[in-house]
């Protein structure tokens, strides 16, 4: 096929290299586009590729290439190559000088290797047509820039993220760049103030990420009014002071603003309310004060809002967002007060709502049952009371619910929580939202932050530290995909549902500090994923589960303070079971490990108590002598006068 121009062999399980003896590959003189990504290739693949003089685009992403860049195999001989994608390999060493010979190169992607890239990008200075360079995930080597050299390229996109831990300043060649549209220096240890000159020099700049760059001082906006910035991330720095009130005037086209993990204080500037294009706002983990402004409802495009870990106080706005586009809301770890009221009544698209660690009061509102897309509901560590609204059972998409550490009461509803991991479903901006998703959930007795795509596999219920009563619904045993279930520190009664043996993927099960009775279902030993288990501080009886599989790792603390429970690892040894020839009178006790059934004990105790009282009353009524002796005894020990005249008359 000598006229072939495009050849895609992506993910074809090619192992090693394409043999140079294949005459067909030597005849591909007109091939312009070649994609061999996601195969297992050796560096010698270039010996074949170098015979393709017309090649303009070459994809070798995720090909298990190792060692130094394969210059000796012919990489630098591809003089007409315009786009080279070699990221996600195991390449090492410095950028070879011969790259300067690839004068047609426009896009060079070397991210996620083990290369040593000079901060000045000096090996690339002669590539006048170079528009994009991605070197993130490599080691960016600090060096003294040559002040006499100015790069010939004018980059449009540059990424050196996650590799500049040893740097101390901005690369000097950036001062000569005036066409940047996207710049990512995440985790680049720059220090100093916010680089307004970058925005002013590059009027077409749309994406700027300076996350975790050790920047400090006040956040000063660029003076230029011709700024097209739509994405700005300055999270995890040391900025202080107030967020500039004129932010809308200087950055009118901003769609994403990420300013978390800094030292910003004061109130949320009102100018943000007029930024109609903004769909993501993250101001979390600062020292912001005051109330959540009601004008947030005017941000008609807002989909993601994170104001958690601040000092915000007061009530929630009466109508949080009237655009109905709001999907993710994180307001945890503030000082919010009052009822939830109707705050999110109009936000029907919400699938993540975190109001935990506040001082909210009142009941869980019924209208939450209208949020049909809700997947994460976190209301823990508040002062909520009353029963769980029955309408919450309509939330068939729910995968994580945390109502712990409140004052909720009543019965636990027969929750039908979604049992299948779900993909993140967004109308737009998927990759950004999936990386920003984050919340805390307690599992395996540890509160951990869950972030990114791992969230889609988390399914859990935490109703601990409330006042719930009644039996545990056996329907919970149908949640075969659940990872964590915590019902501890309540007043639940009845047995542990035998259906719990169906929880095949559960990793943490805590039923401690309740009033559960009966035996522990023996088939729980079939829960092979279980790592944390506790039924301590209940009224359970019978024998502990067999010490097999993971149950052999659970110690005494998992069962303690159950007075009628016996067997390892408890010190109390169960009574031996008698053989069938034993007398019938001992059979019932032997079946329960040598302990009396509690229901029988209570019934016989009260019957005997009432019988004793009736006998004493009858004796005193029939025999006057004992009657007088009884009352004399009472008078002697209680010093109470009794009218004996009335008694003698009888």
Domain layout of the chain by residue ranges: 1-142, 154-288
Least-confidence region, from 252-266, 341-355, 422-436, 529-543: 422-436
Within 367-437, strands assigned E span 376-378, 383-386, 400-402, 407-411
- pLDDT band for position 451 (cuts 50, 70, 90): low
Q: Percent of the chain at pLDDT above 90?
A: 50
Predicted pLDDT at 23: 55
Residue identified by tokens 């975190």 is 354
Mean pLDDT over 493-514 rounds to 94
* pLDDT tens for each residue of 566-576: 998 998 888 76
* pLDDT tens for each residue of 261-309: 999 999 999 888 888 899 999 999 999 999 998 888 778 889 999 999 9
Question: Is the pLDDT higher at 135 or at 319?
Answer: 135
**Domain 1-142 homologous superfamily, CATH:** Ribonuclease Inhibitor (3.80.10.10)
Q: Percent of the chain at pLDDT above 70?
A: 83
**Is the fold of 1-142 the same as that of 154-288?**
yes
**Residue 159 backbone dihedrals phi, psi, to 5 degrees:** -135, 120
Q: Tell me the average pLDDT of the chain.
A: 84
Do the beta carbons of residue 413 and residue 437 sit within 8 Å?
no
- pLDDT above 70 (res 533): yes
- pLDDT above 60 (res 511): yes
* pLDDT tens for each residue of 334-363: 999 999 987 787 777 888 999 999 999 999
Predicted pLDDT at 593: 40
Q: How far apart are CA 150 and CA 178, in angstroms?
A: 13
Mean pLDDT over 380-405 rounds to 92
What is the CATH code for 154-288? 3.80.10.10
453: CB partners within 8 A, 6+ apart: 424, 434
Measure the CA angle with vertex 537, ends 533 and 538; round to 5°.
95
C-alpha torsion 21→25→26→29, nearest 10: 180
Do the beta carbons of residue 221 and residue 251 sit within 8 Å?
yes
Structure-token pair, residue 514: 């309740």
Which residues sit opposite 540 in a β-bridge? 518
């Amino acid at each position: 096929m000598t006229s072939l121009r495009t050849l895609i062999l992506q993910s074809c399980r090619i192992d090693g290299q394409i043999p140079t003896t294949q005459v067909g590959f030597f005849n591909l003189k007109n091939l312009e586009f070649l994609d061999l990504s996601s195969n297992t290739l050796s560096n010698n693949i270039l010996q074949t590729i170098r015979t393709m003089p017309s090649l303009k685009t070459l994809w070798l992403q995720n090909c298990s290439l190792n060692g130094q860049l394969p210059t000796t195999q012919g990489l630098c001989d591809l003089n007409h190559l315009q786009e080279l994608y070699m990221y996600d390999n195991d390449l090492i060493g410095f950028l070879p000088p011969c790259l300067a010979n690839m004068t047609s190169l426009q896009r060079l992607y070397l991210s996620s290797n083990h290369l040593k890239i000079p901060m000045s990008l000096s090996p690339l200075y002669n590539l006048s047509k170079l528009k994009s360079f991605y070197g993130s995930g490599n080691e960016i080597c600090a060096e003294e820039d040559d002040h006499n050299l100015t790069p010939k390229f004018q980059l449009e996109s540059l990424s050196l993220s996650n590799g500049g831990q040893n740097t101390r300043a901005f690369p000097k060649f950036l001062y000569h760049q005036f066409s940047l549209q996207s710049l990512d220096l995440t985790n680049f240890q720059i220090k100093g103030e916010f680089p307004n000159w970058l925005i002013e020099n590059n009027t077409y700049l749309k994406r700027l990420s300076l996350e975790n760059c050790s920047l400090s001082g006040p956040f000063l906006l660029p003076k230029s009014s011709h700024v097209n910035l739509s994405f700005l991330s300055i999270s995890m720095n040391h900025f202080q002071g107030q967020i500039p009130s004129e932010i809308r005037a200087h950055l009118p086209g901003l769609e994403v603003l990420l300013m978390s993990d800094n030292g910003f204080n004061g109130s949320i500037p009102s100018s943000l309310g007029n930024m109609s294009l903004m769909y993501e706002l993250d101001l979390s983990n600062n020292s912001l004060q005051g109330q959540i402004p009601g004008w947030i409802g005017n941000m008609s495009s807002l989909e993601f809002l994170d104001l958690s870990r601040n000092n915000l106080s007061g009530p929630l706005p009466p109508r949080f967002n009237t655009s109905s586009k709001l999907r993710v809301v994180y307001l945890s770890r503030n000082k919010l007060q009052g009822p939830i009221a109707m705050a999110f009544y109009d936000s029907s698209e919400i699938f993540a709502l975190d109001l935990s660690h506040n001082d909210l009061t009142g009941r869980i509102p019924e209208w939450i049952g209208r949020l049909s897309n809700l997947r994460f509901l976190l209301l823990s560590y508040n002062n909520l009371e009353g029963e769980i609204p029955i309408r919450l059972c309509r939330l068939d998409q729910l995968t994580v619910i945390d109502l712990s550490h409140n004052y909720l009461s009543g019965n636990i509803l027969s929750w039908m929580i979604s049992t299948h991991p779900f993909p993140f479903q967004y109308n737009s901006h998927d990759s950004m939202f999936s990386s920003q998703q984050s919340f805390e959930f307690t599992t395996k007795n540890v509160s951990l932050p869950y972030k990114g795509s791992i969230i889609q596999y988390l399914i859990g219920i935490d109703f601990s530290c409330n006042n719930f009563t009644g039996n545990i619904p056996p329907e919970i045993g149908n949640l075969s995909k659940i990872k964590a279930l915590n019902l501890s520190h309540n007043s639940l009664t009845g047995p542990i549902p035998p259906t719990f043996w169906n929880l095949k993927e559960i990793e943490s099960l805590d039923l401690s500090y309740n009033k559960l009775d009966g035996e522990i279902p023996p088939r729980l030993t079939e829960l092979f994923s279980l790592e944390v288990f506790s039924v301590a501080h209940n009224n359970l009886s019978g024998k502990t589960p067999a010490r097999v599989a993971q149950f052999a790792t659970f110690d005494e603390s998992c069962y303690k303070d159950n007075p009628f429970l016996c067997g390892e690892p408890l010190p109390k040894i169960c009574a031996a079971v008698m053989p069938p020839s034993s007398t019938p009178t001992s059979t019932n006790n032997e079946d329960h490990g040598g302990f009396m059934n509690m229901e029988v004990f209570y019934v016989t105790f009260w019957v005997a108590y009432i019988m004793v009282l009736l006998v004493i009353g009858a004796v005193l009524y029939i025999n006057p002598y004992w009657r007088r002796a009884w009352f004399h005894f009472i008078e002697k020990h209680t010093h109470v006068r009794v009218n004996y005249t009335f008694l003698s008359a009888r």
